[in-house]
Structure 1
Amino acid sequence: MRIRLHDLINHSLGNFREALRLRYSLLPYWYTLFALSERDASLLMAPLFYHFPTDERTFAIDDTFMVGDALLVHPVVHENAQSVDVYLPNGIWYLHADWTFDVMPSFSKLPQVYSGNQEINVPVDLRTIPFFYRGGYIVAKKARPRRSSVAMIPDPYTIVIALDNSDKPTATGHLYIDDYHSTDFSTARLYRMEYTSSTFKFIRLEGSNNPDTPLIERVVIMSPTMTMPSKVYVSTPDGKKRDIEFSFTGPEGSRSALLVLRKPLVKAEDGWELHVE
């Protein structure tokens, strides 16, 4: 079967665009990792044994790495590969579902969820970049496609919460924000994002809240066991409460539950709490 050059180019360009969208969407996470590394010399990228030093199976693995504490990546490096074998250390892991969180507002595709301490086989093609969200961690992203990182600065955040599998699921993460173009740290803010007891909030660690801080437009919560909530609402220190629109899809076999909270209309800063009941 002959493949026209025009079709091949268009197909390849589509793959490039999707990969770049994924890369750009994770810039807030990368930016935060650099800020944390400047403070404590933590590694942005590290082999598995660095994060799991008691797991002897990780010692010889050189084709998989961690990005920060929250993401595990296994790049496809062999020509014509149709699958890759990925070792998952202790914990719970959610397979990123083909850019679902970035370009499919319906969130119709549930992520696969896996227990750790096992090797799994992941089908791949030219569009696939196998990576996993680690249970117990939170990643801040910006999902709107833009032509440059500068154009992304005022865009709202999408917060991805990957819950662990404990009796009372929790997750934590960080978000660093500054003016993105100078070495003036007077505008810098560092927050710890925390989900515990079905409550999500920002805790300010450094700096002051800024009126130009972007909004959070979406919160995505993944869980292997979550059930349909009766309501979701935001509370503020003045005692006010406001219901939040949400959609929920329960776990199906090896796929996790997915709770999507739309337009909570809060800024990426402290002073509010989001409750799931």
Structure 2
Amino acid sequence: MRIALATAIAAWEQDADLPPLLEAFARAGIGAEALAWDDPTVSWSRFDAVLLRSTWDYAVRRDAFLDWCGRVEKATRLVNPLETVRWNSDKRYLADLAARGVAIVPTVFIESDRDLPRIAEQSGEFVLKPSVGAGSRHAARFDPTQAAEADRHARRLLAEGYCVLLQPYLEAVDEHGESALVHIGGRYTHAIRKGPLLPRGGTASDLLFAAEDIRPRIATDAEHSAAERVLAALPHPALYARVDLLPGKTGPLLLELELVEPSLFFEGSEDAADALVDALVESLQG
């Protein structure tokens, strides 16, 4: 069995998950190789499966990435599959999950200039970010006095072809942080705490991903229940998932569901990398 771990040329050697994952494949006696999705010299058909990992630059060329996923899926097994990637790579999936009863961070989807007046209606701090994005790229935090600046940021994103998400900034995140619950093969493995990423008065980042303060976290019963509701609402299959939650006044709220290229923070678990290998092998043999 041969497995390709898809990264990106721009993310080469920046993915802390790759070394422990390669070691886990080696322990299982399976040949695995990290290769860039945007390397045109790679023949993906020679692998039994292509496991999406750090394809973090897909957000700036999503169409090309989805085309590549389609070609790979015709040649071999793509994990997670194309239908999952297509749905999850645009954060408008939050509306789908909300319609299925999932409690999400309240979100307004700004699709055109006609929706921009919603920005001026904000009475507290808020966040603007593109519907297609990774690593907090182009996400920015504003307060009501910055409505004009926020309007310019939203217009820039609209001009670049993005839908813009408008969300309240939940102040509890400053103390509690963000909880990310990792599930592999449908089973919970571990959780981490991500410190607040958007400082007051900060500017939107154009980097591949923002620096993060990552620490292990013991998920609460409420967070486990919230994550399970999210996963139960999925319209498409997913071998791995990371459920990112923020503290709301009545319980955890879904910020993002990561099914494409999430960091799984293997350093926070003794066996999560092995669990991913086992789940992949089981899915290929099933």
TM over 0.5: no
Q: TM-score, normalised by structure 2?
A: 0.29
Q: TM-score, normalised by structure 1?
A: 0.30
Which of the pair is proportionally richer in strand? 1
Which of the pair is proportionally richer in helix? 2
Greater relative CO (CA pairs within 8 A, separation 6+) = 2
